[in-house]
Amino acid sequence: MRSVTRDNITDAFAGYFGPKTDPRLRFLMVKLAQHLHDFARETGLTHDEWRKGMEVLRQAGDITTDERNEFVLLSDILGLSSLIDMLHSPQNGTSSSVLGPFHIAGAPPLPVGGDLKGDFAGEVVLVEGTVRDPSGSPIPGAELDVWQTAPNGLYSSQDPEQATYSFHGLLTTGSDGRYAFTTVRPVPYTVPTDGPAGELLNATGRHPWRPSHLHFIVKALGFRTLVTEVFPDDDPYLDQDTVFGVRDDLIMHYEPQPAGSFPEGFALSGKVDEAWSKVAFDLTLIRED
Ligand code: BEZ
Ligand code: FE
């Protein structure tokens, strides 16, 4: 098209595709162009504002490494990652939530009732529950990959002082579908703020905090893998997670337990004299299509 105008440029774009273009790619690109063009038209986007946007992308590229992806973080703080999660989250299973950048593969096996706390200080928290199918039946042999921050607010991959798999474990449910482990409370932490995502948060008067959470990846044969996080109901950032990961069904409660009441059957049994807390949280997987 030679007589391109501000009104027909979107149609011109859609008309430039080759005949062999994958239909889904074509659909996505046309929609992307429609929304980008409408965004520019509706806002009257200036050259300076466009240049600033391009600069944000350049800076994101500069700071991105194999370990750190600033583009994903930008998607997270814009709510795009969480929106995609919600679009594909099961209706009759536990909601999914963002994976985040701190998962490391290869966590060591942790027996049901095992301990993640090790020598770290802090009140013992016993987390337990059952992995179920949508009818409520337990799922035996489900694998739960669990990870969280240490009490200093850092994941092991961010902290040279921690062992590689500190606060990481891989549990497998028995015939009753039950999982259980001991730990300490994860703590709220900030997303990285030293790149353009941090600059954007700052410029828009937003804080970089996430509420404390336990991460889970739950896998079982014949079921859709669930990537999720679970948040305590008393966290100060529960209603303002900077990456929008909180869902109603992902909220847990620390139930205080008196000193001297820690039960048998755990790696820490006989070693916990103080008060402790209990979290009960069941996870529901949906069947694979
Ligand atoms: C996390 O939960 O670990 C996380 C998620 C999104 C951005 C940064 C961290
Ligand atoms: Fe996290």
Asked if residue 51 and residue 113 are part of one domain, the reply reads no
pLDDT digits (tens, 9 = 90+) for 56-88: 999 999 999 988 899 999 999 999 999 999 998
Q: How far is CA 235 from CA 116, 150, 154, 193, 223, in A?
A: 21, 16, 17, 21, 31
CA of 54 to the centre of ligand 2 (A): 29
pLDDT grade for 289, boundaries at 50, 70 and 90: confident
Asked if residue 267 and residue 183 are part of one domain, the reply reads yes
Q: Which ligand is nearest to the CA of 100?
A: 1
Residues 6+ apart with CB under 8 A from 178: 112, 128, 129, 130, 138
Does residue 86 form part of some domain? no
pLDDT digits (tens, 9 = 90+) for 7-16: 999 999 999 9
Give the domain extent around 29.
9-80
Range with the lowest mean pLDDT among 93-102, 167-176, 177-186, 273-282?
93-102
Residue 18 has a pLDDT of 95
Does residue 243 form part of some domain? yes
Q: Which ligand is nearest to the CA of 81?
A: 1
Asked if residue 54 and residue 127 are part of one domain, the reply reads no
Asked if residue 195 and residue 57 are part of one domain, the reply reads no
Is it the case that residue 114 has pLDDT exceeding 80?
yes
Half-sphere exposure of 186 (CA within 13 A, CB side): 30
pLDDT grade for 26, boundaries at 50, 70 and 90: very high
Closest residue by Cα to residue 252 from 142, 129, 149, 102: 129
Residue 275 has a pLDDT of 97
Asked if residue 18 and residue 57 are part of one domain, the reply reads yes
Is it the case that residue 2 has pLDDT exceeding 80?
no
| pLDDT, average across residues 123-140 | 97
pLDDT digits (tens, 9 = 90+) for 170-219: 999 999 999 999 999 999 999 999 999 999 999 999 999 999 999 999 99
Count structural domains, the chain.
2
pLDDT grade for 45, boundaries at 50, 70 and 90: very high
SS (H, E, C) 146-174: EECCCCCCCCHHHCCCCCCCCCEEEEECC
Query: End of a domain among 38, 53, 80?
Result: 80
Q: Could you tell me which residues are beta bridge partners of residue 214?
A: 230
Asked if residue 182 and residue 99 are part of one domain, the reply reads yes
CA of 215 to the centre of ligand 2 (A): 6
CATH of the domain at 151: 2.60.130.10
* Host H or E run for residue 67: none
Task: Tell which one of 76, 190, 228, 229 to mutate to probe ligand 1, the residue whose CB is within 8 A of the most ligand atoms.
Answer: 76
Query: End of a domain among 32, 52, 80?
Result: 80
**Nearest ligand 1 atom, CA 155:** 3
Asked if residue 236 and residue 112 are part of one domain, the reply reads yes
Asked if residue 260 and residue 183 are part of one domain, the reply reads yes
Does residue 173 form part of some domain? yes
* Host H or E run for residue 139: none
Query: End of a domain among 33, 48, 80?
Result: 80
Q: What percent of the chain has pLDDT over 90?
A: 94
Asked if residue 73 and residue 104 are part of one domain, the reply reads no
